[in-house]
Amino acid sequence: MTTATKEYWRWKEYNWHDETMDPKGADTITAGVDIGSVSSQAVVMVNGELYAYSNMRTGSDSPDSARKAMNWALEGTGLKPDDIHYTVGTGYGRVNVPFADRAITEIACHARGGNMMYGSTVRTILDMGGQDCKAIHCDERGKVTNFLMNDKCAAGTGRGMEVFADLLNVSIEDVGDLSLAVDEEPPPVSSTCVVFAKSEASSLLREGWSTNRVLAAYCSAMAHRVVSLLERIGVEKDFAITGGIAKNSGVATRLEKELNLVSLKSKYDTQIAGALGGALFAKALVEKQRKKGG
Amino acid sequence: MTTAGIDMGAKYIKVVILKDGQVLSKAMVATGFEPAVSAQKCLEEAVQGAGVELSAVDHITSTGAGRKAAPGIHSDITDVGAAARGTTHLHQEVRTVIDVGAEEGRGIKVEADGKVVDFAVNEKCAAGAGAFAEAMSRALEVSLEDFGQLSLKSEKTIPMNAQCAVFAESEVVSLVHAKTPKHDISRAVHDAIASRIVSMVRRVGINKEVALVGGVSHNPGFVDALSRGLETQVLVPENPEYIGALGAALVAEERAKS
Amino acid sequence: MKANYGYLDGSGEYFITIDTDHCTECTEHGCVAACPAGLFEIIVDDYDDEVAAIKEEHRKKVKYDCGPCKPVTDRPPLPCIAACPADAITHSW
């Protein structure tokens, strides 16, 4: 793959903090750092409220990515890494967060974060990450009751979508909108396997299909596949989608249609669910620690 | 009596023309985007090579993934049935047939007459098929032919963590960045496919002799990896890519008689 | 909690489901010894409960690792399922 074509699936990194809050001297300042295979997020929470976060690409070195994500979340806040009382590492690289006090799986963190992002009525959370797909069922406290994680197969993950974006020379951020700009919904790509779906797409293009139509067929195949994963854990209202794919309207709207459910919207950025859950776990853990310590 | 077998594979269409049990001719054409047209072309090439008219062929039997799309056929037979029949026709001593094509792998337990006792299939996932090796050779930027040969130079066993071809491509790229020699990567890739095929075949039981047929049997790296994995030297029949077509032509002969 | 370990790929759905609520009351942990491929382990989960899980290195290969216990014909009962006193283990294939 050349550098030029790689650009098609690049996305922008960003950070944010709440300028109306003053974190100095707060009782509990906690953090969650989610090191995914493609992107990393750091969330800083002050007294249980979201204060700052960052979203970056994961580099080849997890500890370095963790430090960078944390520093970027803290940029311009006046807080230093040492001001944080407790940090939870989560995600694929969770054991490689050098400054974390504990590692917790992304499944548990997503449920916990989802509980805050979407409210305690949320029961089913679908997280479509860069290299995996997670389906989580949780209770009113955000505790996991049923889950699965598929990181064996690229179909139904961000990576699968990247392969298609790359094949069709479309920016990953435009895939959703373009796939919805078709007059009529085409039948989904029939192969699940990304390798075989790719050859199927090439022959569809040769048959004269437009790029948008091929994207529509792939988004719909991806939605269909995710539904079969969700069926294993049982889909229940209220339902939410997190992770990078939540931002892909082409997959998200088709998924809602197939499930006949409307996913909950959140005022929070859907990509920070795991890190947010980590920061919430961190808050509970530091409070427990203080109680024990007297 | 003259019969024809057409194997409608994912990548190539193969035809064998038989006359009274003897192979008159063989032909192979890339499947392309119009399998029926390619099949017709392949059939015509084969009959021309055999020096017979298409109308003089008594019975045509198709096999392969696209067997229903083959033109002018009298009957069809499954891939499993054709591979079993074709292999035992050439090697009666074979009891286990492993058929690995571009898009699927099969383990078949057979009797001497080619009757299928049991079989297991891996399809619709590139991990256990020739497509996996193909994708990795592309990632390494070597031709598929060289890729198979390369692996024989290696004596090192490097485990591959990724199961999926898409994820394995990134793993291969990181191995390259880590300065891992290409021949060691090649062996790791072939070992990975072979280990998946071996565990599939174990589900039907492995009885000697073991034969490998299908397009991937041309890959010496894979034959080596499979033999090591099975702890027995696998036999590769002559023209292994034509075994399905041969089996279909043999079945056509039987069906024409009855 | 129902923990599903395994995957869905183009060839099919391969999940081992462990109902870990039963594990907390289990003292035998028979699954660990019963599995000839050594897939099971006892872990402390995110909620500090001691439960059975499928080892990380096997999660992407259960179709192959479980193969020897799943011959095409004459399939006997699965040893992991037979060893669990609480019927907490199920296989999707």
Question: The CATH number of the domain where A170 resides is what?
Answer: 3.30.420.40
Shared domain check, B249 and B144: no
Shared domain check, B124 and B74: no
Residue at A287 is within a domain: yes
Asked if the model's pLDDT at residue A9 lies above 80, the reply is no
Contact (CB<8Å) A203/B33: yes
Does C42 reach chain A within 8 Å, measured CB to CB?
A: no
Instruction: Summarize pLDDT for A153-166 with one digit per residue, the tens.
Output: 999 999 999 999 99
Using CA coordinates, name the residue in chain A closest to C18. A146
pLDDT computed for residue A4 by the predictor: 37
Task: pLDDT band for B10, please (50, 70, 90 cuts).
Answer: confident
Shared domain check, B156 and B83: no
Number of domains in chain B: 2
Shared domain check, B17 and B125: no
Alpha-carbon separation of residue A106 from A32, B77, B187, B191, C6 (angstroms): 11, 49, 34, 32, 16
Shared domain check, A246 and A200: yes
Cα separation, A88 vs A216, whole angstroms: 39
Q: Quote the mean pLDDT of chain B.
A: 96
From A152, A225, A233, residue closest to C4, measured CB to CB: A233
Q: For residue B241, count CB atoms less than 10 angstroms from its CB and return exposed for 0-12, middle for 13-18, buried for 19 or more.
A: buried
Residue at A2 is within a domain: no
Pair of tokens at residue C19: 């109902």
Mean pLDDT along residues A242-250: 86
Shared domain check, B69 and B156: no
Shared domain check, B189 and B164: yes
Shared domain check, A253 and A147: yes
Find the farthest-apart pair of alpha carbons in chain A and give their distance in angstroms, rounded.
72
> In terms of residue numbers, what domain contains B209?
92-236
Alpha-carbon separation of residue A191 from A218, A224, B79 (angstroms): 10, 12, 20
* DSSP at C72: S
Residue at A7 is within a domain: no
Q: For residue C91, what is the enclosing H or E element?
A: strand C89-91
* DSSP at A124: E
Shared domain check, B36 and B138: no
Shared domain check, B256 and B135: no
Does C11 reach chain B within 8 Å, measured CB to CB?
A: yes
Contact (CB<8Å) B119/C72: yes
Shared domain check, B223 and B125: yes
Shared domain check, B204 and B131: yes
Shared domain check, A200 and A81: no
Residue at A36 is within a domain: yes
Contact (CB<8Å) C46/A104: yes
Residue at A5 is within a domain: no
Pairing, β A133-138 against β A124-128: antiparallel
Q: For residue C44, count CB atoms less than 10 angstroms from its CB and return exposed for 0-12, middle for 13-18, buried for 19 or more.
A: exposed
Q: How far is C18 from chain A (nearest CA, A)?
A: 10
Using CA coordinates, name the residue in chain C closest to B109. C72
Does A193 reach chain B within 8 Å, measured CB to CB?
A: yes
Mean pLDDT along residues B108-137: 95
Shared domain check, A158 and A51: no
Q: How far is B106 from chain C (nearest CA, A)?
A: 13
Instruction: Summarize pLDDT for A13-62 with one digit per residue, the tens.
Output: 999 999 999 998 899 999 999 999 889 999 999 999 999 999 999 998 99
| Inter-chain contacts counted by CB atoms under 8 A, chains A and C | 60
Asked if the model's pLDDT at residue A133 lies above 80, the reply is yes
Cα separation, B61 vs A183, whole angstroms: 42
Shared domain check, B117 and B47: no
Number of domains in chain A: 2
Instruction: Summarize pLDDT for A61-78 with one digit per residue, the tens.
Output: 999 999 999 999 999 999
Does C76 reach chain B within 8 Å, measured CB to CB?
A: no
Asked if the model's pLDDT at residue A3 lies above 90, the reply is no
Residue at A254 is within a domain: yes
Task: pLDDT band for B33, please (50, 70, 90 cuts).
Answer: confident
pLDDT computed for residue A122 by the predictor: 98
Contact (CB<8Å) B125/A207: no
Residue at A1 is within a domain: no
Alpha-carbon separation of residue A192 from A218, B232, C20 (angstroms): 10, 34, 31
Q: How far is A199 from chain B (nearest CA, A)?
A: 10
CATH of the domain at B18: 3.30.420.40
Shared domain check, B190 and B97: yes
Shared domain check, A145 and A80: no
Using CA coordinates, name the residue in chain C closest to A132. C7
Instruction: Summarize pLDDT for C28-65 with one digit per residue, the tens.
Output: 899 999 999 999 999 999 999 999 999 999 999 999 99
Instruction: Summarize pLDDT for B186-231 with one digit per residue, the tens.
Output: 999 999 999 999 999 999 999 999 999 999 999 999 999 999 999 9
Residue at A162 is within a domain: yes
Using CA coordinates, name the residue in chain A closest to B104. A196
Shared domain check, A244 and A142: yes
Shared domain check, A258 and A127: yes
Asked if the model's pLDDT at residue B158 lies above 90, the reply is yes
Instruction: For chain B, give the percent of residues with pLDDT over 90.
Output: 96
Shared domain check, A251 and A140: yes
- Cross-strand bridge partners of residue C2: A146, C19
Q: For residue B91, what is the enclosing H or E element?
A: none
> In terms of residue numbers, what domain contains A39?
12-114+271-293
